Structure formats: C-alpha cells, structure tokens
Amino acid sequence: MLSSLYVSAVLAASLSAVTAQTFQRLGTCPTLGCVLPPDQQDFLPGQQFDIRFEVHAPKNGSEAFNGGVPDDKFTATISKDGRSPKTISSFFKISEPAIEKWTFSWFEDLFAKDAKTPSVVNVASKVYRRVALYEPGTYTVTLKYYSGKTTTATWAVRPLATKKKAKNVIFFIGDGMTTNMITAARLLAHKTVNGKYQSLLQLDKFPVLGHQMTHSIDSFITDSANSASALYSGHKSTVNAMGVYADSSPDAFDDPKVETIVELLKRIWGSAWGAVSTAFIADATPIALTAHTRLRSQYGALIEQALNGVTNYSWPSAGGPDAYFGGGAEQFLPGPGSYKGKDYYAEFAKHGYSVSLNKTGLLAAPNNKKALGIFCKSNLPVWLDRNIFPENTKKLNNTPSGASGTATDLPGLKDMTLKAIDVLHTRAGKGGFFLMAEAASIDKQMHVLDYERALGDLLELDDTVQATIAKLKALGELEETLIVVSADHGHGFDVFGSSDTKYMAAQDDDRAKRDAIGVYLNSGLSQYTSPPPSGNVSYGTGPNFPLNWDPRYVIAAGLGANPDHREQYGVDKSGPRVPAEPVTDDDEDYYVNPTDRPHGFVVNGTLPTDQAQGVHSLTDVPVYAMGPCQDSFGGTYSNIDVFYKMAECLGLGQPTNKTITDKGRRH
C-alpha cells in the first residue's frame, strides 16, 4: 500500500514535469487515462459526438509504467448532476465496443529529440460512436483503470435553443485578421482630413463588436484547422485536427468526432449551405465545415468527405455543399492530389453539380442547381496581383483544367460570395442557408511578411461584406440574415510609422537605411489615399481601396515573429514575397533571401531557424455582428462561443432524440 502510494506520487511529479510543453504525449491527457472529449467541454443539446477512452502504458522514458502493459479491463461511467453513475453503454443504450490496441511514440523534450530517444507507449482503448446528450446540465464521466486510478471529465450541456431566430447566417472569416490589420487597411483605403476619416470601412459600420480568444485545446497558439473547428462545432481541438478530438491511434480518421454546424443545419432544418474561399477549397478554413480528421493535410479524402460525408462510420452527412467556390484543382483533377486518384469534377457532376472553371462560367451557372467552381490550382492569386499587378498572375502554371498555362478570367472573393448567395437563396427553402466566405490570403500573405498583399485581401473582404449587405437588401433577406465577420487567429502585425522609400534606397549601410523610417510626428499622413502626382491612377482602384499602392512614403510595419529577412517597406510589384531561403536545397536552415527587398536592411529573425515564414500569434480577434441575435456577440468570449451564439440564433438545440426524425416539427 505504502509503496504504491509512493510510486503514484513520484509518477504525478514526473508527469507534471513532462506534459503540456514543447512535446506532449497526448495534449488533452496529462494522466495515463484519457477521456475524449476531455474535461471542461461544452455541448449543444442533441449534438452528436463520439466518446473515446484510452489507457496508456509507457514502456520506457520518465513515465514508464506497468511494464508497458496497458489495462484493458478499464471501466467508464457517466452521471448527470450528481445522479447515480451508469456505464456508457447502458446510459446511451448502445452495445459495448471491442477493445482496440496500438503503440505510439513521442519525444519528452528537445534533449530526447536531439538524442533520438522517443518514449514508447502501449495503448488500450474503446470508442463509443454517435451519441448525444439532450438534457442541459453537468455530466461527470469517470474512467477507472490500473485498479484505483481515475480520470474525471466534467461536461456541460448548455441550455436549449430550439427556436430559429435567423433564417440565414453568413459567416465571413478573415483568416489571420486582427484589429491591427483592420486599422492599417482603413489607413490605406480611407482618407482623413485633419485627423477625421472622410469614409470608413464597412466593418467600422457594424453595430456590434466582440472579442474571441483563439487558443487550441492543448496549446495557446492555434492553427486554422482546430480554430475553424471550434468556430463551427463549439469544440476546441488540437493543431491540425478538425471535427474531432485528436486521439493517439495511427488512423487519422478514427478519432472521436463532433457534429459541425452544417451537419446540424442539414439534419435539423434541411438548410442549404455553401463555402467560398480564396484558398484551395480543401484548406483548413473551408474544409473544416465537413472534415473529421486529425490531419488537415489529407486534402483528397477531405474533399470526398465534403461531397459524401463520413462514409466509413455512421455519421450525419451535411449532404454536400450547395455552393462551393475556390481554388485547389489538385484535389479535383484525377491524379495524386485527389482521393483514390478519381476525377472529382466528374464526381460532383454525378451528384448534379454545375462545374465552372472561370468567372464567366461561374456567373452563368444556374442558380437552381448545386454549384462547384474551382478556378485555379492552389490558392487564388491575391487581390493586389489580380487587380493592380496582373502581370504577376501570368507567371503561374495553374489552370484548373490541368492544361499547362495560366488560369485567366479569375473571380474574386466578391464575385464568388455574391454568386453563392444567389445559389443558396434560390435553393434554400424555409430552412434558410448558411454561407462561410473566407479571405484566406490575409493570413497567407502575413506569413510571408507581404503586408500590402495581406491588406489588399483584407480590403477585398471589406468590399465583399459591403456588397453582400447590398445584395441581401435587394433580395429582401437582410432583416432575416445574421452576418458575422471574424477571424480564426491573428499574426503579431502592426504599423509603427512611415518610411521614405527614396531615402532608404539611397543609403548604403543598414543603420543609415533605418533613418528612412519616420516615427511619431515624422510618420506623417497616409499617401495611399491620394492619386500619384503624375495622375497615373492605374496603381489604385478607389473607392474602398487605395488610389495609389506605390507612394514614396509607405507604411513601416512588422510582425512579432519572423525569420531572418530584409525590410525595405512598400509594395513589391513583382509578386508575393519570399522573405527567407535555405542556404542549400536540402537545408532546413533559413536565412535572408538575397533577392528579396534588395534596398532594405537585414532584420534578424526571432523564430527557430527552420521556420521559413512568420507564424500565428496569441492575440484575441474581433467579432463583428449584424442582424438577428447581433447583441449576443458583444463582449469577450472563447472561440467556441461563436458557434453557440450562431447555434442559439439558428435554433439548433434538440430536446430529445425523437426530434431528429420528427421532420414535421422542424419544417
């Protein structure tokens, strides 16, 4: 007795020393018994999910336990509000699943990684698939293992919301967009006179503004996969995971799933839904609406899930998008990028989709049919290159048809969003529609420190929001549509002054070049809002965008996290930036790219030297809301609350299982 207590005290001490930092055995599981969903998770009444239990037996390393033999006789119970606990299978009235076993390994810290000594863990597990909790309240799940150890998870089922208050929801996501970027974009596109703005961003005119905290479930810096998933499902997850709680098994598709907003909307209201993105459409933010995997890089399989749902487990399908527009032809052309090498243009067409490959085709597509539009390989070229420096788009070999050459006749975010609204409005019945529209390259261009290209795409988002409001008004749908504009995470970007590009280029050494930067009084005023002196306005488009993207005095800006690079400030007319490069092709050690910003000065990096780009940062991000339920979006809250606020407004809570099949009540 004494000795086993001693062992567990030592174990507890060593566990707290190795968990939750650079490497984690399983982020949501600091002890050797894991409950997924873990402690502190919230649920919408009736939202379907899977439950997984894992018992870990580390074979070696600092946690070595039980000779590496996992307890496969573990038991688990659930109880509501302190009532007597029931086994999982009796509580949910489902049969007891079989035990699964596997082995995985991980590094406990950087020393172990350098020494190439992974710790090996044997696992026994059970998964209970497709259950739901209907009664609001507090549930306690208890896992008992190794004769006497317990892991407890407390779950909260939130109060019911069965009344549908908004017919439609349009959710705009500026990927990586922060308040600082919005402030900079306003400075570029809107003129001030003696400190007073003469016009404003559309976002500035929203009636309600809130703040969301973006942390992942097991790290304080998030990626776009699990942050999108938190916004769409009300469940946080791990970096790279979407629509699941990440488990430790080798299969990236067997992790315990959670139902997403479009799956709920389809099941409960039969709503139409769509996704629009300037990224490849299998990228995290658009694909997380339907994806259930721990690995966001499974692009081909995730397009299959978007079209047909999860097919190898019983799971509610979102029925395939009604409108699906973006880049990423690689996952549609038959070949290595598509699921099982199939032609996904043909697969979508078989399901009754119109397929368009350019803007002309998109605008001509019938509004009463499901619509797929894939306009290039990879991401769409950014707004700045499509509109101001179009020669840059001609360098790309990116046709969506797979023929060699350049994708031409490209739509922008506004074209895709307005067309998606036409299709969704036409196809939606009483159940209304849900549309997610993503400005993806705010993030992608901030990663490569290309501030102007990022801000151009932010202004494109703002212009799209403005056009969306006008469109909804024209359709008579504005009063019934909740519009939310937010981000999934930020980057540590800000503007701290202006820079005289002419003076900087004329200086020879790095320290003298820095004298070109004007701070405080010398920052002066924005020169982007006036036409160039020559009257050549072809570097700008006005209104809602700068009149001149290439003034002599430009914004001096930076990021809190960056690789080695050179700063020159001002737009790069030759195309998106590559700030750092490896010394040799097979090297993972990044230095200043010798050809980037040749007139600038060197800024040494703050990131590990294997990082070629900037990274996401900790900041909270803004949430703008307009329409039914707008007031619920004020204040500061977690990213999962964005889901619960939308779900509340859409009446997605269900009081009993019966209502799932009781179509009459819901239509």
Ligand X SMILES: *[C@@H]1O[C@H](CO)[C@@H](O)[C@H](O)[C@H]1NC(C)=O
Which residues are known to be catalytic? 224
For residues 540 and 549, give the distance between their C-alpha atoms in angstroms, rounded to a whole number: 6
607 part of the interface to ligand X, by CB under 6 A: no
Q: Please report which helix (H) or strand (E) contains residue 580, including its range.
A: strand 580-582
Please tell me whether 283 is known to bind a ligand: yes
291 part of the interface to ligand X, by CB under 6 A: no
Cβ contacts of 578-587, under 8 Å, gap ≥ 24 = 578/448, 579/448, 579/449, 579/612, 579/613, 580/605, 580/612, 580/613, 581/612, 582/612
Please tell me whether 488 is known to bind a ligand: yes
User: Which does residue 131 bind out of ligand X, Zn ion, none, counting CB within 5 to 8 angstroms by kind?
Assistant: ligand X
Please tell me whether 175 is known to bind a ligand: yes
403-442 binders of ligand X (CB under 6 A): 408-409
89-128 binders of ligand X (CB under 6 A): 117-120
Q: Which of 303, 301, 363 is nearest to 327 (CA)?
A: 303
47 part of the interface to ligand X, by CB under 6 A: no
Q: Candidates 73-81, 123-131, 437-445, 480-488 — which segment interacts with Zn ion by CB under 5 A?
A: 437-445
Q: Candidates 12-20, 258-266, 355-363, 628-636 — which segment interacts with ligand X by CB under 6 A?
A: 355-363
Cα distances from 149 to residues 31, 52, 463, in angstroms, run: 9, 17, 57
Nearer to Zn ion, 516 or 621 (CB): 621
Q: Candidates 229-237, 299-307, 432-440, 629-637 — which segment interacts with ligand X by CB under 6 A?
A: 299-307
Residue in 50, 71, 438, 443 binding Zn ion, rule: CB under 5 A: 443
Token pair 């790069």 is at which residue?
572
For residues 178 and 621, give the distance between their C-alpha atoms in angstroms, rounded to a whole number: 5
392 part of the interface to ligand X, by CB under 6 A: no
User: Which does residue 486 bind out of ligand X, Zn ion, none, counting CB within 5 to 8 angstroms by kind?
Assistant: none
84 part of the interface to ligand X, by CB under 6 A: no
Cβ contacts of 516-523, under 8 Å, gap ≥ 24 = 517/556, 517/569, 518/553, 518/556, 522/497, 522/498, 523/497, 523/498
Backbone phi, then psi, for 80, in 5-degree steps? -105, 130
Please tell me whether 39 is known to bind a ligand: no
Nearer to Zn ion, 63 or 443 (CB): 443
Nearer to Zn ion, 443 or 550 (CB): 443
Nearer to Zn ion, 445 or 464 (CB): 445
Give the x-and-dash track for 544-583 against ligand X (CB under 6 A).
Answer: --------------------x-------------------
For residues 66 and 653, give the distance between their C-alpha atoms in angstroms, rounded to a whole number: 44
Tokens (6 digits) for 511: 């320290």
Nearer to Zn ion, 443 or 463 (CB): 443
Tell whether the torsion through CA atoms of 119, 120, 122 and 127 is positive or negative: positive
Closest CB 94 distance from ligand X, rounded Å: 7
Closest CB 25 distance from ligand X, rounded Å: 12
Contact (Cβ atoms closer than 8 angstroms) between residue 81 and residue 138: yes
Nearer to ligand X, 232 or 339 (CB): 339
259 part of the interface to Zn ion, by CB under 5 A: no
Tokens (6 digits) for 530: 């006036």
For 179-194, give the DSSP string.
HHHHHHHHHHHS-EET
Residue in 604, 608, 655, 663 binding ligand X, rule: CB under 6 A: 604
User: Which does residue 404 bind out of ligand X, Zn ion, none, counting CB within 5 to 8 angstroms by kind?
Assistant: none
For residues 52 and 31, give the distance between their C-alpha atoms in angstroms, rounded to a whole number: 15
User: Which does residue 443 bind out of Zn ion, ligand X, none, counting CB within 5 to 8 angstroms by kind?
Assistant: Zn ion
Tell whether the torsion through CA atoms of 355, 360, 363 and 366 is positive or negative: negative
Nearer to Zn ion, 57 or 487 (CB): 487
The percent of the chain in helix, strand and coil, each rounded to the nearest 5, is 30, 25, 45
Residues that constitute the known binding site: 175, 283, 285, 438, 443, 447, 488-489, 616
Residues that constitute the known binding site for Zn(2+): 443, 447, 488-489, 616
- Contacts with ligand X by CB under 6 A lie at 48, 60-61, 117-120, 130-132, 253, 301, 304-305, 310, 312, 357-358, 360-361, 408-409, 534, 536, 538-539, 564, 591-592, 602, 604, 657
